[in-house]
Amino acid sequence: MIAQREIWLAPFPFSDQLGMKVRPVVVISNDQFNANSEDILVMGMTSQFSKGKYAVSVSPLDDEEKSLHHQGYIKVENVLKLSQKLVYKKIGRLNKDKFQQAIQLFEMIIH
């Protein structure tokens, strides 16, 4: 089962919806939703420095499984519903503190 806070590789569309790129995503939907749905909710990640106000820096130290090898950024405004069939390689799991930071930033966007 795909779990909340896990980092997976998945196809992620460009903001203009004209193409897509395989990139890391952080699962934000909770485990109950994931177990009862064919879909998951994710936030996109990038390895490129993001100057945006809505990016959360992620270092290898933020990965509970110690499998991330490079600095990255969660692009909090890039939320997507994906079929669980589309994610294909688990690459880590975000620690609770960093995950909470991303969720709080997302809440700032929607409130």
64 by DSSP, 3-state: which? coil
Nearest-Å Rg of the Cα atoms of the chain is 13
Q: Rounded CA gap, 108 and 72, in Å?
A: 21
| Per-domain boundaries in the chain | 6-110
Q: What is the pLDDT along the chain (111 residues), one digit of tens a residue?
A: 999 999 999 998 877 778 888 999 999 999 999 999 999 999 999 988 767 789 999 999 999 999 999 999 999 999 999 999 999 999 999 999 999 999 999 999 999
Q: Rounded CA gap, 54 and 74, in Å?
A: 8
CATH level 3 topology of 6-110: SH3 type barrels. (2.30.30)
Q: What is the pTM of this model?
A: 0.93
